[in-house]
Amino acid sequence: MMEPYDMEKILSALPHRYPMLLVDRMLALEPGEKIVAVKNVSINEPYFQGHFPGRPVMPGVLLVEAMVQAGALLLYATLPEVNPASICFAGIDGARFRQPVGPGDQVVLEVRQTRRRSGVIKMAGLAFVQERRVAEAKLMALIEGEK
């Protein structure tokens, strides 16, 4: 198991910045296997103004994006020889949103690498709040130029 990244290393690995950086902390990292990361949800998130007034709910697409960003950190640690700019998000299957996520929640993201072949990497993402599964998705990434 590798030492988890601090915020400085997360910022150096991911191109995302506010308001689209959705990984606040990494708890565990096993290159080639899995990552566990955290997204802290604050009422100050800009999407809460319109989603939805009086009943703030984190959009499901942002839960998926948080899983994708955690998956990207896993891939960067797994494939240090690959230029991060050549890894791109390529697909999502089976996304399910089981419970709403709102201000004050801490989302624990768990992403596992399930397969790698011919430049295609498949991962399974889960999101939990207080150990309750709130979302899940199968993710796919491509390494451009790898066959």
The percent of the chain in helix, strand and coil, each rounded to the nearest 5, is: 20, 40, 35
Known catalytic residue at 16: no
Of 134, 125, 138, give the one whose Cα is nearest residue 107.
134
Question: 7-106+115-143: which CATH topology?
Answer: Thiol Ester Dehydrase; Chain A (3.10.129)
Average pLDDT in the 24-40 region? 97
Catalytic pick from 9, 16, 51, 138? 51
pLDDT at residue 3, rounded to an integer = 82
- pLDDT of 126 above 80: yes
Of 85, 111, 96, give the one whose Cα is nearest residue 29.
111
pLDDT in tens, 33-64: 999 999 999 999 999 999 998 999 999 999 99
pLDDT in tens, 66-124: 999 999 999 999 999 988 889 999 999 999 999 999 999 999 999 999 999 989 999 99
**Could you tell me the residue ranges of all domains in the chain?**
7-106+115-143
